[in-house]
Amino acid sequence: MARLIYSAATSLDGYIAGPGGDMGWLAPHVGEPNPPADRLLAGLGALLVGRRSHDGDDPNRGTDAEGAFGGRYDGPAVVLTHRPPPQAPPGVTFATDLDTAVARAREAAGDGYVTILGADVAAQCLEAGLLDEVLVFVAPVLLGDGTPLFPRRPGTAPVRLESIAEDTPHWYRVVR
Ligand SMILES: NC(=O)c1ccc[n+]([C@@H]2O[C@H](COP(=O)([O-])OP(=O)(O)OC[C@H]3O[C@@H](n4cnc5c(N)ncnc54)[C@H](OP(=O)(O)O)[C@@H]3O)[C@@H](O)[C@H]2O)c1
């Protein structure tokens, strides 16, 4: 069965987007060698994307590298939204609740990974006990404000993570 992984680049102070959704801070790191990301891409079956990520800023907009994984991913994507548009772009389906979105993404991914794009959706998957892995790349920048990497509700219980890769410090299995 497909595994759900939340993968994101984060600032050192824990933001995946700057104020107003700015992603320009990531531009200096685009194209840097990233073997763990290459491995994830090779095993990737589907994306599960929050609406704000779907509509969001792209540091590679207007270039060949625009899109998920620097433009190298062209497989299926399920976008979670309360307001699906009447028509979906090719390869994209819209879902209006988390369980349906996860089920569709798993089905599309087969035995591959479902990669979650969007902190809000990732935090919901975590709280629902659906998140299997986390892969985070830390950029050497402090943003001070923006979209937190894991926007969990105050008072929620700690979640233990186990490191599962030797060549990257932040690839973890979620301990259940
Ligand atoms: N640094 C990175 O690697 C990275 C990667 C991806 C994205 N980003 C950035 O992160 C930001 C987006 O992340 P985010 O956490 O703010 O948002 P998100 O998770 O991408 O999307 C949240 C939105 O998804 C929809 N949604 C969420 N849960 C839902 C549910 N249960 N049922 C129906 N719809 C639901 C809602 O949209 P509606 O109510 O509008 O339908 C909600 O506002 C963007 O700025 C993006 O550029 C950064």
Q: What does the domain layout of the chain look like in residue ranges?
A: 3-174
Atom of ligand 1 nearest to the CA of 117: 6
**Cα of 105 from ligand 1 centre, angstroms:** 16
Angstrom distance (rounded) from CA 112 to CA 24: 30
pLDDT for 61 equals: 86
pLDDT for 59 equals: 82
Angstrom distance (rounded) from CA 31 to CA 105: 27
- Single-letter residue type at 56: G
The helix/strand count (H/E) of the chain reads as 4, 10
**Cα of 22 from ligand 1 centre, angstroms:** 14
pTM of the model: 0.97
Express each pLDDT in 86-125 by its tens digit.
Answer: 999 999 999 999 999 999 999 999 999 999 999 999 999 9
Atom 34 of ligand 1: nearest residue by CA position: 81
Q: Which two tokens stand for residue 167?
A: 């060549």
Is the CB of residue 174 less than 8 Å from the CB of residue 133?
yes
pLDDT for 135 equals: 98
Pairing of strands 3-11, 77-80: unpaired
* % of the chain surpassing 70 pLDDT: 100
| Domain 3-174: assigned CATH number | 3.40.430.10
Angstrom distance (rounded) from CA 78 to CA 63: 23
Helix 98-109 / helix 119-127 crossing angle, nearest 10 deg: 100
pLDDT for 63 equals: 87
Q: Which two tokens stand for residue 109?
A: 């991914």
Closest listed residue to residue 134, CA positions, set 165, 158, 105: 165
Q: Which two tokens stand for residue 171?
A: 């690839």
Cα 63–chain centre separation: 21
Is the CB of residue 59 less than 8 Å from the CB of residue 30?
yes
pLDDT for 45 equals: 98
